[in-house]
Chains A and B, each alone.
Chain A
Amino acid sequence: MSDDTPSGRRQVGSDLIIPVAGIAYAVYYVYSVWDFPPEAQRSGFFLAGLLVALCLIFFVRIGILAARGRVELEFDALLGPPRGRLGRLGFVALIGAYLLTVGTLGFTLTTFSFLFIGSLLAGLKSIRRAAIFAATASLAGWLFFIVLLGTRFPLGPFEALVNMVTSSWR
């Protein structure tokens, strides 16, 4: 269970997220196989039943502890220590932004921006060091993943420029 509070009671609010999400998915899964022939439903029903049964046992246990006043429904432990919390939430948002832009900006530019902003959000104080780190790592990544290994990661303006320059040499 999650951290103890000053009152000595345990925070269990965040402990419920996984079982609740699990039950929600199990219900959706059963719904998705509802019209299948019985032979194809068998394993889905078994797995969903197993997950729901385990979650119910967990809820009963939490209910008993709550009735005895030994737990409280707090979600604070989920976000970690208060210091730097805003930066960490910003980092999660930055990952979302990476997913949205990587298709257009390509590997190198997206990685540079992600590493630059990400390192600052994560606690690096110097903008100059963040820029040097981001430039070095993104160029090394481009050389390794795109040039050397030839992965098909989306290419953007930087890769297009390099391709144009190198093709003009030939």
Chain B
Amino acid sequence: MNATGLAELFFYSASMWWVIIPAVFIGILMGAIPGFAAHNTIIMLLPLTLAVDVDVALTFMVALYCASHLGGGIPAILLNIPGTGGAAATTLDGYPMSQQGKASKALALSFVASISAGLLTSAVTLFMLQYLSQVGFYIRSVEMVVVMLFGLALIAAIAAKDMIKGLIAGALGLMLGAMGADHIYATPRGTFGILELFDGVPLVPALIGLFAISEALIMLETRTVAPAGAARSMPTWTQTFREIAGAFRHWVLMIWTSLLGLVIGVLPGAGASIAAFVAYQQARVFSRTPEKFGTGHEQGVVAPEAANNGVTTGTLVPLLAIGVPGGSTAAVMMVVLQFHGVPFGPRLFVQDPLLAYGVIMSMFVAYVFMLVTLFPLTRYLSRITVVANYYMAPMIVAFTLVGAFVPRNFMADLTIAVVFGLIGYVARKTGYNVAAILIGVILGPLLERSFLLSMRISGGDWTVFFSSAIGNILWALLAVTLLASPSISLLRRMRRKGDIY
């Protein structure tokens, strides 16, 4: 597609402002409520998306999807509760910033990183769509196992204070994630005979329990999230815009973590949570101040937020190019597009190329609108941290339990969320990383499926995991990732002691 065509497409997408603006606000609101992820919201609004023209429906869904990823970071920063799984990594440094009275700055970083990543990755995708779509063809179950192991390696890296506790938390998460019917014979395992667990641990109630309910219980020990002085210190407009401008200092980190998110998003099944943690860990490994991560470091907010918005663009690539949705929201979009009779894969680019590129352009335009409408919000949203916890804690429990119920409409999911809440509470009080448990729960079934598939294909031969060039490169990268962080710390320690120069 040439420059004139792209310009025409941009103005056509921008003319849909009347769809994009409400979709952005609904997306941010729903993204900020755990359990109401983009795909749930689109499902709820399905009658609307099926009734309008396909281009209007697509623009609405894409804008809502992008905005929900941005919205997921807001409660992660302000309340230590990620609105979506992709925002779990944001809690690691976003929430400590709020506790230090820097909520407004953390939100500015999150918004700038998210919007910049969205604009960059959608622009890159517009030019590279046909090439990016090939990535999905080269990633099979063997390579997926190594990608998952990347996620597992992060568990150890995230729990920097005590690696053994981090590993135990991750292994417990994996064990819980392996609950439910086995992938070969569909026989239930470790379910305590509870019917609602036969499909495995439901992710949304687990997320709500581990983060929201446990956090609400911890909140009751203090009066507010922010320090007492922050109650009187609402940032001025000048401060707000200075914070926004200051966030652009991290442009290099934003670029490479958003591209990392884009590539991970293209892999079907990988998703925003893995991308955000990979980006967080990579940012820490290559940071000049890795020891500051986890204490309210700006880079610790920028990296995961840029990556999880990079993923939003990436997940649409395999859907458009090969007809395989890269994530749950893309799968819901696929249903809507199929209803409208839209073809996928190479046929889409032959029959209706404008629609294919229009999806990505709508995304670009949605981020442009967010740029204008959202930045001023950082000034007001940060006030949430000074609301008394005796209001916040009961409200968090009551409203997030609705979110736990929504995806499956099972009353048992409320109990599952509360049980995970108690696990999360004990984990937080004793130094076991709840994000590591969640990553384990997310990765458990995916890893098991890819592992069993690879073993079946190879007839039980373990060397299959070292049989592909891409897989071997990923193994090498995994080893580097695991060894880089301790090696760099060791070198720094030796340099401080004067053993080396």
Cβ contacts under 8 Å, A28 to chain B: 190, 192
Q: How far is the CA of A117 from the CA of B429 in the complex (A)?
A: 25
- CB-nearest residue of chain B to A11: B430
Which residues of B (446-470) have their CB < 8 Å from a CB of A?
A: 448, 451-452, 455
Cβ contacts under 8 Å, A154 to chain B: 411
Q: How far is the CB of B465 from chain A (nearest CB, A)?
A: 13
Q: How far is the CB of B165 from chain A (nearest CB, A)?
A: 7
Q: Which 5 A-B pairs have the closest CB atoms?
A: A118-B394, A122-B390, A29-B190, A51-B171, A124-B390
Binding site for B on A (CB under 8 A): 1-2, 14-15, 17-19, 21-22, 25-26, 28-29, 32-33, 36-37, 39-40, 42-44, 47-48, 50-51, 54-55, 57-58, 61, 77-78, 80-81, 84, 87-88, 91-92, 95-96, 98-99, 102-103, 107, 111, 114-115, 118-119, 122-124, 133, 137-138, 141, 145, 149-154
Q: How far is the CA of A39 from the CA of B223 in the complex (A)?
A: 53
Q: Are B189 and A44 in contact (CB under 8 A)?
A: yes
B187-213: CB near A (< 8 Å → 1, else 0) gives 111111000000000000000000001
Cross-chain contact of B175 among A48, A81, A133 (Cβ < 8 A): A48
Given contacts A54-B167, A91-B217, A124-B391, contact A150 B44 (CB under 8 A): yes
Q: With contacts A1-B431, A81-B221, A115-B398 known, what are 12 further pairs, Cβ within 8 A? A: A14-B430, A36-B182, A36-B185, A43-B448, A51-B174, A54-B168, A84-B220, A98-B401, A99-B414, A103-B411, A122-B393, A154-B411
Given contacts A84-B220, A88-B220, A137-B395, contact A123 B390 (CB under 8 A): yes
Cβ contacts under 8 Å, B427 to chain A: 18
Q: How far is the CB of B490 from chain A (nearest CB, A)?
A: 21
Please classify how large the interface on chain B is, using the bins under 10, 10 to 19, 20 to 34, 35 or more: 35 or more
Q: How far is the CB of B411 from chain A (nearest CB, A)?
A: 6
Q: Are A18 and B185 in contact (CB under 8 A)?
A: no
Cross-chain contact of B415 among A43, A55, A99, A119 (Cβ < 8 A): A99
B473 at the interface (CB under 8 A from A): no
Q: How far is the CA of A115 from the CA of B392 in the complex (A)?
A: 10
Q: Are A40 and B185 in contact (CB under 8 A)?
A: yes
Q: How far is the CA of A123 from the CA of B432 in the complex (A)?
A: 28
Q: Are B430 and A29 in contact (CB under 8 A)?
A: no
Cβ contacts under 8 Å, B189 to chain A: 29, 32-33, 36, 44
Q: Are A87 and B187 in contact (CB under 8 A)?
A: no
Cβ contacts under 8 Å, B190 to chain A: 25, 28-29, 32-33, 44
- CB-nearest residue of chain B to A134: B394
Q: Are A22 and B172 in contact (CB under 8 A)?
A: yes
Q: How far is the CB of A51 from chain B (nearest CB, A)?
A: 4
Cross-chain contact of A88 among B221, B223, B432 (Cβ < 8 A): B221
Q: Are B409 and A18 in contact (CB under 8 A)?
A: no
Q: Are B395 and A47 in contact (CB under 8 A)?
A: no
Q: How far is the CA of A87 from the CA of B169 in the complex (A)?
A: 29
Cβ contacts under 8 Å, B213 to chain A: 95
Cβ contacts under 8 Å, B422 to chain A: 92
- CB-nearest residue of chain B to A46: B451
Cross-chain contact of B430 among A2, A54, A102 (Cβ < 8 A): A2
Given contacts A47-B171, A54-B168, A102-B414, contact A91 B44 (CB under 8 A): no
Q: How far is the CA of A102 from the CA of B213 in the complex (A)?
A: 17
B317 at the interface (CB under 8 A from A): no
Q: Are B405 and A151 in contact (CB under 8 A)?
A: yes
Cβ contacts under 8 Å, B70 to chain A: none
Q: How far is the CB of B433 from chain A (nearest CB, A)?
A: 11
9 contacts between A and B (CB under 8 A): A2-B430, A15-B165, A22-B171, A36-B185, A40-B182, A47-B178, A84-B221, A123-B388, A145-B402
Q: Are B395 and A151 in contact (CB under 8 A)?
A: no
Q: Which of A77, A81, A114, A118 has the most C-beta atoms of chain B within 10 angstroms of its own C-beta?
A: A118
Q: Are A17 and B430 in contact (CB under 8 A)?
A: yes
Q: How far is the CA of A122 from the CA of B418 in the complex (A)?
A: 18
Cross-chain contact of B426 among A18, A50, A57, A118 (Cβ < 8 A): A18
